């Protein structure tokens, strides 16, 4: 009953910036955490950045200092500001959320967006 919709992906030259957005919709009681994962060709999906309900954030070492995760809790939205992009950042980026529904509170489920392609050229 929950849908996560990502936007903001695209192609950019190395050193450029992109801003990803993810909006969660549905019968949401509370979002305990939201984050971003990515998967490059031939690689496993990896955590890029995450934000808990307490606004605690963590980042993959490879993006620390370049990416910033933020949330608009009133709009059930998470953002990923990506600066100083590198070709190694090329991947499909997936929004992830741990959500408590009204109907199943206090139990939590994990949801995924469909993914958005980010391509960084040199």
* pLDDT score of 53: 74
> Mean pLDDT, the chain, as a whole number?
96
Query: Cα–Cα distance between 114 and 3 in angstroms, integer?
Result: 9
| Stretches in the chain below the pLDDT threshold 70 | none
Per-residue burial over 88-110, b = 16 or more CB atoms within 10 Å of its CB, e = otherwise: ebbbbbbbbbbbbbeeeeeeeee
Maximum CA extent, the chain: 48
Angle at 28 between CA 49 and CA 79, to 5 degrees: 25
* pLDDT score of 122: 94
Q: What percent of the chain has pLDDT over 90?
A: 95
User: 87 — phi, psi (to 5°)?
Assistant: -55, -30
């Amino acid at each position: 009953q929950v849908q996560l919709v990502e936007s903001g992906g695209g192609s950019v030259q190395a050193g450029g910036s992109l801003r990803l957005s993810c909006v969660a919709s549905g019968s949401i009681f509370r979002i305990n955490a939201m984050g971003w994962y990515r998967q490059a060709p031939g690689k496993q999906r990896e955590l890029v950045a995450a934000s808990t309900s307490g606004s605690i954030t963590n980042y993959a070492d490879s993006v620390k200092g370049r990416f910033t995760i933020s949330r608009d809790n009133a709009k059930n939205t998470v953002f990923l500001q990506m600066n100083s992009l590198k070709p190694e950042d090329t991947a499909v980026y997936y929004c992830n959320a741990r959500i408590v529904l009204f109907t199943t509170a206090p139990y939590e489920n994990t949801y995924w967006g469909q993914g958005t392609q980010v391509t960084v050229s040199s």
